[in-house]
Structure 1
Amino acid sequence: MTTPPSVAARPLPVGTVAPEFELRDQNNRRVSLSSLREKGDVLIVFFPLAFTGTCEGELGHIRDHLPQFDDDSLTTVAVSVGPPPTHKVWSAAQGYLFPILSDFWPHGDVARAYGVLDDERGFANRGTFLVSRDGLIEYSAMVGPGEARTTETWDAALASRA
């Protein structure tokens, strides 16, 4: 049985200006959306929590297909409310070579800004956003806890690149 997303959670629609953020990655380095956009498009993948099977599977898909998700004009980042030390241990154990960003404090502010925070549970739903170099959301989708993104979701997000 899947749990539906929080009623209040509504992902930002395509065509919206992506909210700027600056978060710390698993190595405690600051990463901002604007700096990522200097390279090109940015795929932002919100996930609920580290060390969970569905999240490991989804981020494992990115890891196993990294050339599709990280090239000269695309950067993929994953975002969770977990703290950087947790993300460091988890990403090292799983071999994730892409940034895992911490939306820990203020708790869930970036997920909230993108409309994917589940306020009742205190973590993000599985939001997927493709942000173009000019800062517009080109792809937007969300599934709730217990639901995994499908291959079709990944394909559609990557195909939305202009």
Structure 2
Amino acid sequence: MEAKPTPKVLTGREGEPFDLDVCANWTQNYRDRNPGDIVSHFFGREIIEKILAQQGCLGIRVYHAYDKPINGWQRAMVTISNFILKVIGNIEGERHIIVAGAVHDGSDMINTKPAAPVGEPMARTEMATVMTASTSTATADIVAQEALPCPGSPGCPKNVLSTSQRSLS
């Protein structure tokens, strides 16, 4: 993967169709490090379109989140376990988000032939831009990777979703 220069501002062109084989390897790496954990989330087209339809919206940011807080002791244990994994276990790597479309039965749109969903007259090719997701296999489906991880890139917000502060001036 070739390093791209990091832009100073968001343009709406961040992210890219990405090689399916690399995506498969990266998601396997995640599953190996987090056995039994949730591996994906689905958001419906309607809510994504509502978010994108907001005036000035250039894209979607996905946050990692947990529904329950940890206390100081648990935070110390997480720090120690991360140290053990990285220094002693020599386990390194960045977490990535892989984005793929999904159809009516929940199947991911990866290397599939375009087909009309059950009970729907519109073929999937009419709903999606036809592109190539993998350099090795031509397909009508797209998988993508995260474009600009935060923190560490321009455009990273400082708000209640991204900092430990509850109120920001």
Q: TM-score, normalised by structure 2?
A: 0.26
TM-score, length-scaled by structure 1? 0.27
Higher percent of residues as strand: 1
